[in-house]
Amino acid sequence: MKKIIIVGASSGIGLRAAEDFAAAGWQVGMAARRLEPMQALQTQYPDTIKVSAIDVTAPDAARKFGDLIEEMDGMDTLLYCSGTGFSDPQLDDAKLTDTLAVNVVGFARIVSEAYKYFRATANRTQGQIAVVTSVAATKGLGIAAAYSASKRFQVQFINSLEQLAYTQQVNVAFTDIRPGFIRTPLLDPDKDYPMIMTLDEASRLVERAVVKRRRVAVIDSRWRIVNALWNLIPQRLWRHVDITFK
Ligand SMILES: NC(=O)c1ccc[n+]([C@@H]2O[C@H](COP(=O)([O-])OP(=O)(O)OC[C@H]3O[C@@H](n4cnc5c(N)ncnc54)[C@H](OP(=O)(O)O)[C@@H]3O)[C@@H](O)[C@H]2O)c1
């Protein structure tokens, strides 16, 4: 039975992935700060789901994550979904700090721990580190500078680890999942977002990217096109683009 640990499994993409992987017969480790939503799912799969309260911004996060791996008697795939982000044109200090703490510090901490686990164990079967980044990683978005930069950090971090894995001969695959907009609690329920996907639509694509071990998966095909096009826009023109949501 394959084993996946989902960090950021109490809500949105992560919770849905936990539900779907458990239904598909995987052993699932769920981690986030809020235990209640994870325990609610665990009651449906008491033999195959383990849960752990982990705040990725806390210094004990790596140890607790290691404990969860041990409790599951190993891990084939880490799916890192924890994240926060704000529309923040005023550059509010609390929002900026929160975003960087979760998406940069917490992310690097957990992903590094997973890498070290695979370095120590995965030469028999290939491990996988999958991260839900964002299309926001590819261009600097003025209304969400910290979020956008934090997602760029995530992409570059796993690119770097991939190179390190070759050097250190660590048998691990990396998957970078970049959604556009998905209707989850992360988004402002009162705003309209372009080309927004339902969780039903997006979760299928997220999970396929994990199972097929895609290296980069932009979700969905409309966003793949937009993403490819806006990557062609030089910064001297990009700075004039007004991205605001009503
Ligand atoms: N929704 C979108 O449109 C969209 C688009 C592109 C990328 N993404 C990315 O997809 C990922 C999942 O987002 P979502 O849309 O599913 O949002 P969500 O429903 O708000 O879920 C966010 C998850 O992150 C966890 N989290 C936040 N702070 C944490 C902390 N300090 N420690 C541990 N876990 C923490 C939350 O759990 P607790 O609060 O219980 O800790 C929750 O499980 C994020 O990285 C987001 O940037 C989302």
Report CA(10)–ligand 1 centroid distance (Å).
Answer: 8
pLDDT range class, residue 246, cuts 50, 70, 90? low
For the chain, the domain total comes to 1
The mean pLDDT value for 70-84 works out to 97
Q: E-strand spans in 8-133?
A: 27-32, 49-53, 77-80, 127-132
Report CA(236)–ligand 1 centroid distance (Å).
Answer: 32
Instruction: Judge whether 157 lies within some domain.
Output: yes
How high is the pLDDT of residue 172?
Answer: 97
How high is the pLDDT of residue 121?
Answer: 92
The mean pLDDT value for 221-226 works out to 95
How high is the pLDDT of residue 4?
Answer: 98
How high is the pLDDT of residue 123?
Answer: 64
Angle between the N-to-C axes of helices 12-23 and 35-42, in degrees from 0 to 180, rounded to the nearest 10: 20
How high is the pLDDT of residue 152?
Answer: 98
The mean pLDDT value for 152-163 works out to 98
Question: Residue 217 in contact with residue 175, Cβ under 8 Å?
Answer: yes
Q: Whose CA is nearest to atom 14 of ligand 1?
A: 12
Q: Whose CA is nearest to atom 12 of ligand 1?
A: 81
Give the separation between CA 1 and CA 181, rounded to whole angstroms: 32
Atom of ligand 1 nearest to the CA of 182: 3
Q: What's the angle, vertex CA 137, arms to CA 33 and CA 131, rounded to 5?
A: 45
Report CA(12)–ligand 1 centroid distance (Å).
Answer: 7
pLDDT range class, residue 243, cuts 50, 70, 90? confident
**Residue 34, C-beta contacts closer than 8 angstroms, at least 6 positions apart:** 10, 11, 53
Instruction: Judge whether 44 lies within some domain.
Output: yes
How high is the pLDDT of residue 104?
Answer: 98
The mean pLDDT value for 178-188 works out to 96
Question: Residue 238 in contact with residue 139, Cβ under 8 Å?
Answer: yes
Instruction: Judge whether 116 lies within some domain.
Output: yes
Q: Whose CA is nearest to atom 41 of ligand 1?
A: 33
The mean pLDDT value for 32-54 works out to 98
Instruction: Judge whether 190 lies within some domain.
Output: yes
Report CA(163)–ligand 1 centroid distance (Å).
Answer: 27
Atom of ligand 1 nearest to the CA of 179: 6
101: CATH: 3.40.50.720
The mean pLDDT value for 66-93 works out to 96
Q: Whose CA is nearest to atom 8 of ligand 1?
A: 134
Residues having CB closer than 6 A to ligand 1 are 8-14, 32-34, 54-57, 81-85, 102, 106, 132, 134, 179, 181-182, 184-187
pLDDT range class, residue 148, cuts 50, 70, 90? very high
Q: Whose CA is nearest to atom 46 of ligand 1?
A: 83
Instruction: Judge whether 91 lies within some domain.
Output: yes
Instruction: Judge whether 56 lies within some domain.
Output: yes
pLDDT range class, residue 18, cuts 50, 70, 90? very high
Report CA(41)–ligand 1 centroid distance (Å).
Answer: 17
Instruction: Judge whether 244 lies within some domain.
Output: no
Report CA(80)–ligand 1 centroid distance (Å).
Answer: 9
How high is the pLDDT of residue 120?
Answer: 94
pLDDT range class, residue 244, cuts 50, 70, 90? confident
Report CA(81)–ligand 1 centroid distance (Å).
Answer: 6
Question: Residue 208 in contact with residue 162, Cβ under 8 Å?
Answer: no
Residue 177's domain comprises 3-238
How high is the pLDDT of residue 245?
Answer: 67
pLDDT digits (tens, 9 = 90+) for 93-130: 999 999 999 999 999 999 999 999 999 996 678 999 99
> Which pair of tokens denotes residue 52?
């752990």
How high is the pLDDT of residue 242?
Answer: 83
Report CA(184)–ligand 1 centroid distance (Å).
Answer: 9
How high is the pLDDT of residue 109?
Answer: 98
Average pLDDT, the chain: 96
Instruction: Judge whether 245 lies within some domain.
Output: no
